[in-house]
Amino acid sequence: MTGLLLRMHRTLWRRSMKDNPAATIMTALILMYALIGLVSLGVSIWMLPAGDRAWAVAGMIGLGTLAFVAVAVIIPSGESQLSPADFATLPVTDRDLFPALAWSTLLNTRGATAVLATVLATVVAVWLSSPLWLLAMPVALVVTLLLGEVFRMVSAGSGRVSSERMNILSGALVVAMILGFNMLMSFGLENIPLDRIGRILAWTPVGAPAGVVAALLDAAWLTAAAQLAIVVATLVLGVLWWRRVIARRLDAPLDGVTREEVGERREGVLLPGLPYSPGTMIYSRGVRYFRRDPRMVGTVVSFPLIALVLLGQGVFFDEFMLYMGMVFLALISGSLASNDFGYDGPATWVHVVAGVPTRTLLLARHLAQLTPMLALVLFVDVAAVILAEDTARALLVAVISLGLLMSAAGLALLLTTYNPFPTARPGTSPWADKSGFSGAAFTAAFAALLTGWIPAAPGAALVVFGWTVPGVLLALALPALFYLGSLRLATRRVESHLPEIYARVERWVN
């Protein structure tokens, strides 16, 4: 049965990859970054003294496993063609399915990347340290694949609440990985403390297989025994958990509600304190839906973390980063509102037949999409003014950032009505392709950064040359006029071309 299931997996995998070029591009990017990281860490190990290299190898292996697990959670590959729920109507058990499911982790691009990285890491470890790594590397590969699968299943919670929480967690993980990589590279290849990282990760499941060999090379027998116990416990508990999940999905393939959600408090659509009207209902629905839409939650979570990093760097390293944070966040503030109709997709037909006034529909949807970034920009502006040593300068930059915010909002109105494009269906991973790599999506992504500053530029220039009061007034007045003009044009566009807009977004991107 295992051979039959693996043949089916290979056939379906080939077909899915042939029809999905975006998956191939993503795989190539992951492979490229994995090889870059492996080469960088290998050079760092080579620069260390011979006595520290064993623990440095353990650090390299632990970081590689950690990255594999994080990517499995953040960017589900979608290449697994064997789902236990699909076999629920057949007379099979978890014992029958488990071998095929385990081997199938190798029969996809992510598993192949892990194998290639393991082979290259083994060559580096044996060359720079000891032949004993030939024993540890296969175990490290098995642990890596097992942990990746376990965390992938845990993150793919069946209920809505667990799914929303994992989307938020994945957004935080992405930013944490980026910041962690930048922090690691900031040491310089010759100063990365891989040996210390290895000694720490060796006491966790991601680094324990390598820790055993490193401890043996150090003649630390008790440490090696303790870390071997961690490896055994990881393998046993991981396999038991996996088997349990398979059995559960065979017994209840449609069980999509958790106990946590059964007792969940009901909530209305209208936000507290808002009057009952079509506009407030559309606005409230848009705001409430943010945390439920994986396509947006990555951005909603990532930007606050980026803002905190910029504020921290501005306080502890360079005050210029405070000003940069205010300007950058204001420029990208319209990113969530640049394709409102595309995110609604086929449901745009409701707007066509609902009879809601065009201006009400457009403005309510637009303001809902702007709300998270508006709150973030105001928070960063206030925090930067408080934290900056030169309060007057920070206050001027904060005012200019409000002008940039209005400019970005006006540009978003024009984009969402004149440049709508279809997106992926709701529920798609926040880190998967959401636009089919279309030209319209490329335009929306870079329009604000390239042109969003133009309405505020004359006022900012006057402020720089010392004409503070006229410059501040102009930095607010011109963006405000641009926003009002954009709103008028966008309203006319929707009034006369809403069916045409619907025709452009009526199908989800595959």
pLDDT in tens, 268-287: 678 888 888 888 888 888 88
Separation of alpha carbons 205 and 66, rounded Å: 9
Task: Tell me the average pLDDT of the chain.
Answer: 79
Q: How confident is the model at residue 171 (pLDDT cuts 50, 70, 90)?
A: low
Partners of 139 in beta bridges: none
Q: Is-contact 258 157, C-beta < 8 A?
A: yes
pLDDT tens-digit profile of 231-272? 999 999 988 888 888 888 777 666 544 444 444 455 567 888
Torsion of CA 407, 310, 450, 425, to 10 degrees: -80
Least confident of 1-15, 34-48, 466-480: 1-15
pLDDT tens-digit profile of 467-481? 888 888 998 999 999
pLDDT value, residue 259 = 45
Sign of CA dihedral 111, 114, 120, 123: negative
pLDDT value, residue 150 = 79
Q: Cα–Cα distances in Å, from 482 out to 404, 413, 463? A: 11, 11, 20
Sign of CA dihedral 301, 307, 312, 313: positive
Separation of alpha carbons 506 and 494, rounded Å: 16
- pLDDT surpasses 90 at 358: no
Report the pLDDT averaged over residues 110-132.
84
Domain segments of the chain: what residues? 2-252, 278-505
Please report how many Cα atoms fall inside a 13 Å half-sphere around the Cα of residue 463, on the Cβ side. Answer: 22
Phi, psi of 424 (to 5 degrees): -70, 155
Q: Cα–Cα distances in Å, from 153 out to 67, 242, 380, 431? A: 17, 8, 37, 17
Separation of alpha carbons 456 and 403, rounded Å: 6
Q: Is-contact 85 97, C-beta < 8 A?
A: no
Report the pLDDT averaged over residues 288-310.
76
> Nearest-CA neighbor of 212 among 54, 87, 103, 410?
54
Report the pLDDT averaged over residues 101-123.
82
Phi, psi of 156 (to 5 degrees): -85, 55
Separation of alpha carbons 240 and 286, rounded Å: 42
Report the pLDDT averaged over residues 155-166.
52
Cα–Cα–Cα angle for 284, 285, 290, rounded to 5 degrees? 100
Report the pLDDT averaged over residues 73-87.
66
Residue 269 belongs to what H/E stretch?
Answer: none
Separation of alpha carbons 22 and 180, rounded Å: 27
pLDDT value, residue 232 = 92
Separation of alpha carbons 315 and 303, rounded Å: 18
> Nearest-CA neighbor of 220 among 58, 47, 45, 42?
58
- pLDDT surpasses 60 at 507: yes
Q: Cα–Cα distances in Å, from 265 out to 161, 260, 262, 470? A: 12, 10, 9, 52
Percent of the chain topping pLDDT 90: 9
Report the pLDDT averaged over residues 29-55.
79
pLDDT value, residue 400 = 92
Q: Is-contact 98 246, C-beta < 8 A?
A: yes
Q: Is-contact 426 295, C-beta < 8 A?
A: yes
Percent of the chain topping pLDDT 70: 82
Between 162 and 448, the more confident residue is: 448
- pLDDT surpasses 90 at 151: no
Report the pLDDT averaged over residues 168-197.
64
pLDDT tens-digit profile of 238-247? 888 888 888 8
pLDDT value, residue 229 = 92
Cα–Cα–Cα angle for 502, 505, 507, rounded to 5 degrees? 115
Cα–Cα–Cα angle for 263, 269, 275, rounded to 5 degrees? 135
pLDDT value, residue 263 = 46
- pLDDT surpasses 80 at 207: yes
pLDDT value, residue 175 = 62
Sign of CA dihedral 347, 352, 356, 359: positive
Separation of alpha carbons 504 and 448, rounded Å: 22
Residue 315's identity, in one-letter code, is V
Q: CB neighbours of 253 closer than 8 A, spacing ≥ 6?
A: 84, 85, 86, 88
- pLDDT surpasses 90 at 483: yes
Alpha carbon distance, N-terminus to C-terminus of the chain: 32
> Nearest-CA neighbor of 228 among 148, 144, 119, 140?
140
Q: Is-contact 192 92, C-beta < 8 A?
A: no
pLDDT tens-digit profile of 321-353? 888 888 888 888 888 888 888 888 888 888 788
Separation of alpha carbons 106 and 114, rounded Å: 8
Torsion of CA 109, 115, 118, 120, to 10 degrees: -80
Separation of alpha carbons 483 and 411, rounded Å: 8
Report the pLDDT averaged over residues 493-505.
87
Q: Cα–Cα distances in Å, from 377 out to 312, 374, 405? A: 16, 5, 8
Partners of 509 in beta bridges: 424
Phi, psi of 509 (to 5 degrees): -75, 135
Q: Cα–Cα distances in Å, from 316 out to 312, 343, 388? A: 6, 39, 11
Please report how many Cα atoms fall inside a 13 Å half-sphere around the Cα of residue 409, on the Cβ side. Answer: 28
